[in-house]
A and B are shown apart, each in its own frame.
Chain A
Amino acid sequence: MDIVRFEPLSGEGAGRALPVSSLSNFFESANALAAKQVCRKKNSLLHAGNYEVDEGDLLELARAGGALVFSFSDLLPESGFRRAIIISKMRLALAACRKRGTGFVFATLAKDASQMRGARELSAFAAVLGATDVERKEAEKNMARLACGAAKPKGQTQSNLSKVPSASGISPPSAKKVGK
């Protein structure tokens, strides 16, 4: 669910991969004001680090065909009570997305190889947040639509996609940061 494009597997595995955070329609928002600007953009993938997105913004995101990104790597550095708070915020954000008809996707947004997680683990992550089986499949379709279909990676075209440098599970810190 996280690596959205890769070259045919060689003997060494997926050598050339493209993480979600390097897509041109991926945005990270530091605060609510920044999130509001991103929500109006068409087909955007919004990652709100604090998961405190206004319901009006979610409605705009739904109208623009975008999706909210739930990242597993946001949980990993935390432990105990702080992790519980983040999971709680994610659950509330997911419920708000459901209420407003906004799409959502689940990704690891891994910053290094140790933060990478498998599809089964991401599926369990979605289930714990309260997503049903249908919603999990819908999230995969959203990812396919927003990442593989419409969007092109930053500075890349579909024709020269194979020249993307090897990610090998490591996400380059090239995501657009808004509101900093």
Chain B
Amino acid sequence: MKPTERFKRRYISFSLSLSGKPPAYQEAKEMVHSHFLSFFGESGVSSLAFKLVKYDAPSGRGILRCERSRADEAIFCMACLSSWKGAVARLEPLSTSGTIKRL
């Protein structure tokens, strides 16, 4: 498939915290995946082209990918995360870009 025929991507950098501290990689991955799945559903996640690209556990910073036309929905979904397993959680979007390099 030609690059022009593929879906257009947006990369969103984020900062993740659980009870004020950055969670470990596995926990962060589980948290982000289950939150997006509960918000969008299986069909929604597939059409969103969602992927957790990168996550740095010590700093709590990471990058996720979504489809260009649905970047607002992805950011809204991130903003809706307020708790995880009874603890205060925050998934804060930092910046949006079309390339990982520019984030």
Contacts and interface: CB of A to CB of B under 8 A. Distances in A.
A122 B18 CA distance: 22
Contacts of B88: 114
A117 interface: yes
B82 A120 contact: no
B93 interface: yes
A127 B76 contact: yes
Interface size class of B (residues with CB under 8 A): 10 to 19
A6 interface: no
A118 B15 CA distance: 13
B93 A120 contact: yes
A145 interface: no
A127 B72 contact: yes
B87 to A, nearest CB: 11
A162 interface: no
Given A128-B72, A128-B73, A114 B90 contact: yes
Interface string A109-134: 00000110110110111011000000
Interface string B63-99: 0000000011101101110100000101011000000
A75 B79 CA distance: 10
B68 to A, nearest CB: 13
A83 interface: yes
B80 A83 contact: yes
Interface of A: 72, 75-77, 79-80, 83, 114-115, 117-118, 120-121, 123-125, 127-128
Interface of B: 38, 71-73, 75-76, 78-80, 82, 88, 90, 92-93
Which 8 A-B pairs give the minimum distances between C-beta atoms? A124-B75, A127-B72, A121-B79, A124-B76, A124-B72, A128-B76, A76-B82, A114-B88
